[in-house]
């Protein structure tokens, strides 16, 4: 059994060696440490006319951009105003992307958290508290998300406004006969969870219904080659590792709707049928 070691917190504010420039460099080398998924650095110290410089601009493969402001020590009003200002300027200049304002600070007080919570739902703000830990090998960093963006409604909550199509539309315009059959395979697996489940053909996805009610615990999106399966489950480190261990082609997590996304081919469904049933069942139980 390994021995217990008491960790000692370390304050970065005021430290000449471990300063904001050092922190920025650490994040730039591995942006995933922020806990926002697989990100790449688009820019650092990004100049905004009349508004100073944005600390970091990050982007994921879903073309979502994260305007990140770093604050050593305690967060304050200036910090939040500056972060929202950069977010607003970026989204106006580049409306083709989804934008998120990200505040990183060593100390996010309850008062400050209450203030930025008022904006959430209107402005997508993510607050991350940074804890530096002193070790024998150097300084370790722990990033804890203390405020996340408000999750959007389930796919079927706006079902009435979603344009209905049919199987022929998917087979001839969106995908192929063979890839639409992959959605049939997912339906067959799902019927082991509830035999009453049926398919619904919508313009952007093939979903599920129970009776006359939409029930989209997952949706299928056939392509010309293969299919994307999107499963409604909250993201967790445990689930990330579980999916990675399967060897399936797991795409980036959809933070907007809370969806795990998997690229599937016929062989994948046949090989991982039991696992896919287990995954779909978890989503079904949460949705139920």
pLDDT at 151: 53
Coil, helix or strand at residue 272? coil
Taking 50 as the threshold, does the pLDDT of residue 235 lie above it? yes
pLDDT in tens, 159-212: 554 567 899 999 999 899 999 999 999 999 999 999 999 999 998 899 999 988
Backbone angles phi, psi at 144, to 5 degrees: -120, 120
Mean pLDDT of 230-235: 92
60 neighbors 95 (Cβ within 8 angstroms)? no
The Cα-based distances of 226 to 24, 179, 208, 219 in angstroms read 39, 6, 19, 14
What's residue 126's pLDDT? 87
| High-pLDDT (> 70) share of the chain, % | 93
Joined tokens for residue 214: 């939409």
Q: What's the pLDDT tens digit per position in 19-52?
A: 899 999 999 999 989 988 888 999 999 988 877 8
Q: For residue 197, what pLDDT is reported?
A: 96
> pTM, whole model, 2 decimals?
0.56
What is the distance of C-alpha 126 from the center of its chain? 12
Domains and CATH numbers, the chain: 8-147 (3.40.1350.10), 155-287 (3.90.1150.20)
In angstroms, the CA 11 to CA 274 distance is 48
d(CA 272, CA 277): 9
Look at residue 244 in the predicted model and tell me its pLDDT. 92
Q: Give the span between the Cα atoms of 82 and 15, in whole angstroms.
A: 23
Segment 96-143, tens digit of pLDDT? 788 899 999 888 877 777 777 777 667 888 889 888 888 777 788 888
Extract long-range pairs of 200-208: CB within 8 Å, 24+ residues apart: 200/164, 201/164, 201/165, 201/166, 201/167, 201/169, 201/170, 202/162, 202/163, 202/164, 202/165, 203/162, 203/163, 203/164, 203/165, 203/169, 204/162, 205/155, 205/230, 206/170, 206/180, 207/155, 207/156
**Residue 49 and residue 59 in contact, taking contact as beta carbons nearer than 8 Å:** no
> Which one, of 143, 134, 144, lies nearest residue 17 by Cα?
134
pLDDT digits (tens, 9 = 90+) for 38-89: 889 999 999 888 778 999 999 987 678 999 999 888 887 888 888 899 999 9
What is the distance between the alpha carbons of residues 86 and 45, in angstroms, rounded to a whole number? 11
pLDDT above 60: residue 241:
yes
125 pairs with which residues across the strands? Answer: 101
Taking residues 139-151, report their average pLDDT: 77
Tokens at residue 174, please?
A: 């969106």
Cβ atoms 33, 41 nearer than 8 A:
no
pLDDT for res 152: 47
């Amino acid at each position: 059994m390994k021995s217990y070691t008491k960790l000692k917190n370390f304050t970065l504010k005021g430290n000449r060696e471990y300063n904001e420039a050092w922190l920025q460099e650490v994040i730039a080398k591995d942006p995933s440490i922020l806990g926002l998924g697989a990100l790449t650095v688009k820019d650092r110290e990004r100049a905004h006319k009349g508004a100073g410089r944005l600390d970091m601009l990050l982007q994921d493969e879903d073309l979502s951009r994260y305007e990140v402001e770093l604050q050593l020590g305690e967060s304050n009003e200036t910090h939040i105003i500056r972060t929202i200002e950069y977010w607003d300027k970026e989204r106006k200049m580049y409306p083709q992307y989804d934008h998120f304002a990200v505040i990183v600070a060593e100390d996010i007080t309850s008062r400050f958290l209450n203030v930025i919570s008022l904006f959430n739902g209107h402005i997508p703000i993510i607050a991350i508290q940074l804890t530096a830990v002193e070790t024998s090998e150097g300084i370790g960093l722990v990033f804890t998300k203390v405020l996340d963006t408000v999750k959007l409604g389930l796919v079927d909550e706006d079902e009435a406004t979603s344009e209905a199509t049919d199987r022929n539309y998917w087979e001839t315009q969106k995908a192929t006969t063979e890839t639409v059959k992959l959605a049939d395979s997912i339906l067959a697996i799902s019927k082991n969870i509830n035999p009453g489940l049926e398919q619904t053909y919508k313009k952007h996805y093939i979903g599920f219904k129970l009776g006359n009610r939409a029930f989209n615990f997952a949706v299928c999106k056939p392509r010309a080659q293969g299919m994307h399966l999107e499963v409604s489950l909250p993201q967790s480190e445990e689930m990330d590792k579980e999916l990675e261990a399967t060897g399936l082609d797991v795409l980036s997590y959809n933070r907007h709707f809370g969806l795990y996304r998997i690229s599937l081919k016929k062989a994948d469904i046949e090989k991982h049928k039991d696992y896919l049933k287990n995954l779909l069942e978890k989503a079904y139980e949460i949705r139920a």
